[in-house]
Structure 1
Amino acid sequence: MTDTLSDSDLDLIFREARSMNGWQDREVTEEQIHAIYELAKMGPTSANQQPGRFVWCKSKQSKERLAKCASEGNQDKILTAPVCVIIGYDLDFHEHLPWLFPHTDAKSWFEGDEEGRREHAFRNSALQGAYLMLAARSLGLDCGPMSGFDQDATTKEFFADQPRYRADWLCSIGYGDRTTIFERSPRPDFDRFNQLI
């Protein structure tokens, strides 16, 4: 095992990676989707909460259903992508803690604390979504994260059978068409938004 990733690896994941607006007509397979998840699930969450719940819209029908919940500017980004994943979270993630975090009675930390569970689920599922993007990029795929959609409508459409789940954001995944992206927006130097004390 090497101590650091190579420069080309870092380019792939960070420096040259871009948020894609359009997609090549190339499939993302079920095997690739499983491989993304198998990497992403290894990222840390608080007390191994694993509150993220993911719906991978791969079929034409599922992407059409999702696009109806999205802003006009995001509909094509969903429809033309090989797959678009809904990143959601489970407000009752604590019910799974006895097997996910068996070292102590972590479930009891969250019982009766709906607002605390919401805060933890929101934070840790967002981390899981970020891990998912890094995993996809590591496997040679591009990502197009989106927040321009109706969360309530998406929750109702895709999580109707799981009333404690909530949709949070979307991410299209595939092989990006670089002719559809803008010049990279500025990234601040360290001193602008950091303190080292």
Structure 2
Amino acid sequence: MTKQFHDRPLGDEALDQIFREARSYNGWLDKPVSEAQIEAIYELAKMGPTSANMQPARLVWCKSQEAKDKLAEFASENNKKKIRTAPVCVIIGYDIDFHEELPWLFPHTDAKSWFEGNEALRKEGAARNSALQGAYLMLAARSLGLDCGPMSGVDLDKVTAEFFADEPRVKADWICSIGYGDATSIFGRSPRPEFAKFNRIA
């Protein structure tokens, strides 16, 4: 039976770690991230909801220096060092043909038929839901005591061609360095708006 967590909010220490005190890091301490940690991040992130459990994200974890150097070649000048010096940098891509996996991912109904013959709908769903998965991935990493440095300043076509060459229906979307953040690499937190600025309750 599924556990219920109603009226059991996380404590302030956990909320600080995941949200309030978490930052996007530009530099990294010389401390490795293991393959076991990478797998632990994924095992948490995969539990986040996606439409019809479509799970469109396809991830490449650049852990070797060779892979990080290759990825950095396609990055803007400001992002090259952030990639090369990170313990790991993950490429978040999405599979336009994610619907082929729906018979086992969402077996309750014929969800595959919803998307067959409509690539525009698949691209829209894949992009939105893989972005959600990337956000879950960041929350998972933070929950496990790691820091993140998300980036979009890369040539996505070149990243796609290099890292998803054997998966022609997968497109790179953004990247995120993960490790133990160097506090000297960040500046003061940018402003965050109060509720009333961008919210309304209808």
- Is TM more than 0.5 here? yes
Matches within 5 A, 1:72-151: 72-151=77-156
Q: Of the candidates 153, 156, 163, which is equivalent to residue 158 of structure 2?
A: 153
Q: Name which of 169, 177, 180 aligns with 2:182.
A: 177
Structure 2's unaligned 5+ residue stretches are none
Name the aligned partner's letter for residue 111 of structure 1.
E
Q: Distance in 2 between matches of 1:161 and 1:7?
A: 45
Q: Quote the Cα distance in structure 2 between the aligned partners of 1:180 and 1:129.
A: 23
1:115 Cα deviation (Å)? 0.3
What are the Cα deviations for residues 158-189 of structure 1, in whole angstroms up to 9, with x where unaligned? 00000000000000000000111010000000
Alpha-carbon distance in 1 for matches of 2:196, 2:138: 27
Question: Which amino acid in structure 2 is aligned with residue 77 of structure 1?
Answer: K
1:196 counterpart SS class: coil
Work out the CA distance in 2 between the residues paired with 1:182 and 1:153: 31
The corresponding residue for 1:40 is: 45
Is 1:69 the equivalent of 2:74? yes
Name segments (4+ residues, structure 1) moved above 6 Å.
none
Instruction: Say whether 1:187 aligns with 2:187.
Output: no
Shift of residue 52, structure 1, vs aligned partner: 0.3
Give the CA RMSD over aligned residues. Answer: 0.7
Q: Deviations over 1:38-70 (max 9, x none)?
A: 000000000000000000000000001100010
Letter in 2 for 1:146: M
**Secondary structure of the residue that 1:42 maps to in structure 2?**
coil
1:17 equivalenced with 2:12 (yes/no):
no
Mapped to 2, the partners of 1:90 and 1:164 lie a distance apart of 6
Using the size of structure 1 for normalisation, the TM-score is 0.99
Identity %: 72
1:105-133 deviation per Cα after TM superposition (whole angstroms, max 9, x unaligned): 00000000000000000000000000000
Q: TM-score, normalised by structure 2?
A: 0.97
- Structure 1 unpaired stretches of 5+: none
Question: Matched residue of 1:140: which SS?
Answer: coil
- Quick one: which amino acid aligns to residue 201 of structure 2? L
Offset, 1:195: 1.0
> What is the CA deviation profile of residues 136-179 of structure 1, one whole-angstrom value per residue up to 9, with x for unaligned ones?
00000000000000000000010000000000000000000011
